[in-house]
Structure 1
Amino acid sequence: MTSEPGRTRRRGTELEDAILRAAAEELTAGGYAGLTMDKVAQRAGTNKNALYRRWPNRLALGIAAYRQLAVAVEPPDTGDLRADALELLRRANRHWSSALGAILRELLAAAGGAAELLAQLPDQSADATAATWFTVLGRAVARGEAAPECLHPRVSTVAIVLLRNEFVVRGVPTAPDDVLVEIVDEVYLPLVRQRGTLNPGGAAPTGPRRG
């Protein structure tokens, strides 16, 4: 595509930012199904070669654009583990049923089991998810609400894993609130509170310690 008269040719970060903005706008307008390299190039005022030099395919660009749309939110800090856990699950529930969540579901379906691509999605990164739950649990441990041994990646994230399983098994983007309450009250809280008694004299827990 030829630059317009009088327009400075963009390069480097400036061009990349313009492409990502255009891709994010295309995702918002038509979802991943409507995202094409041609449309993004046209919206960004550049050519497809500029896109392919940075992203090898439509999926890689879609994931990068989604990262522009996803807003990081601080973990809840209500002073109560049950309330914090429910808020985290309710946030996930709202997100999955939102327009942005629909885009995320499309990207997950397109990525299949490609771990290297899934790790780039802020909502699906195992490290990011574990860090959020570690933060909430670390505060609970410091307050004496949970055993220090619960600070293990598989234990700390069990609630969100169970919620995602609801989405997959039932094939729906949202779960009833009573399911979230059941996950927290019947599985999550008993597990993190009794973890220490189940592993007396065990190895030191994995993950950050608070307090």
Structure 2
Amino acid sequence: MVDRVSRRRGAELEDAILTAAWEVLLAHGYHGFTYEAVAAQAGTSRPVLYRRWPQREELLIAAITRSWQSQPILLPDTGNLRDDAVELLRRLNARRPMMVALMSAQIMDYFRDSGSSFNKLREALYSPGEPTPFEQIVTRAVERGELSDATRPGRVLNLPFDLFRHDAFMTMSEASDDAIIEIVDDIWLPLLRSSAEGR
């Protein structure tokens, strides 16, 4: 087996390693996420991993990023901000099991041990300067004339996702459609408009 897989090169080898790394993370969590375990799962050697990812945390982030980006959430375009936001949360909700499985158990120890945070992980998942999905749908709403062209805090723009994430960790189950609509209609949209008016 090792002879066969060792012939892989470049992108094919990296893809196999990151697939194996993700599988190890889901199966064994952060403390079981070792070079030895990933190399064995991928059918390769530890030096191959070291050359690409000198630090274990680099391999961890690469595996998470690859998994996240391999299942992109398409940005809805319903023609209005409210429906875009509701549909985006519904699409996130459909992906909740993967997100909860990862964040609730597998890498909480990573955050604790490394002193990192979800915000730093989120930065790694997006290209530098790339707006988040909620920032994008707000920008489109401004372009359509639904919202004033005012500066809004990032915390306000991304609040629906932050509330959704908190609910995911607290309930460990799918969000109801009523909860999604409440986040958008009763909390986010009023705050989005009032935060702009107050500046």
Give the counterpart letter for 1:198 in structure 2. Answer: G
**Which 5+ residue runs of structure 1 have no aligned equivalent?**
200-211
- Which of 46, 58, 62 is the equivalent residue of 2:44? 46
Alignment of 1:171-186 (within 5 A): 172-186=172-186
Structure 1 stretches of 4+ with a deviation exceeding 6 A read: none
Aligned-residue offset at 1:77: 0.6
- Superposition deviation, residue 43 in structure 1: 3.2
Deviation for aligned residue 1:189: 0.9
Relative to 1, partners in 2 of residues 1:172 and 1:13: Cα closer, same or farther, differing over 3 Å? closer
TM-score normalised by structure 1 residue count: 0.71
**Aligned residue for 2:77?**
77
- Residues 8 and 51 of structure 1: CA distance in aligned 2, closer, same or farther (over 3 Å): closer
Amino acid corresponding to residue 4 of structure 1 in structure 2 = D
Deviation string 1:86-117 (CA, Å, 9 cap, x unpaired) is: 12222233322x14541243344132141496
Give the structure 2 partner of residue 122 of structure 1.
125
Q: Kindly provide the amino acid, as one letter, of the partner of residue 22 in structure 1.
A: A
Q: TM-score, normalised by structure 2?
A: 0.74
Q: Which residue of 2 aligns with 1:187?
A: 187
Q: Helix, strand or coil: the match of 1:52?
A: helix
Work out which of the two has the higher radius of gyration on C-alpha atoms and give 1 or 2. 1
Structure 1 residues 152 and 126, CA gap change in structure 2 (3 angstroms): farther
Among all aligned residue pairs of Structure 1 and Structure 2, give the percentage whose two residues are the same amino acid: 38
Question: What SS does the corresponding residue of 1:73 show, helix, strand or coil?
Answer: coil
Aligned to 1:206: none
Give the deviation of 1:47 after TM superposition.
1.2
After superposition, residues 36-185 of structure 1 pair within 5 angstroms as: 36-56=34-54, 58-70=56-68, 71-96=71-96, 98-99=97-98, 101-112=100-111, 113-115=115-117, 118-119=121-122, 121-122=124-125, 130-149=131-150, 151-168=152-169, 170=170, 172-185=172-185
Residue ranges of structure 2 left out of the alignment (5+ in a row) = none
RMSD: 3.4
**Match in the other structure for 1:4:** 3
Taking the aligned partners of 2:73 and 2:125, their CA distance within structure 1 comes to 11
Report how many aligned residue pairs link the two structures.
192
- Is contact 1:137–1:151 with CA below 8 Å preserved after alignment? no
> One-letter code of the match for 1:197?
E
Partner of 1:32: 29
Aligned partners of 1:77 and 1:55: how far apart in 2? 38
More helix per residue: 1 or 2?
Answer: 2
Deviation at 1:127, TM superposition (A): 5.8
Letter in 1 for 2:148: A
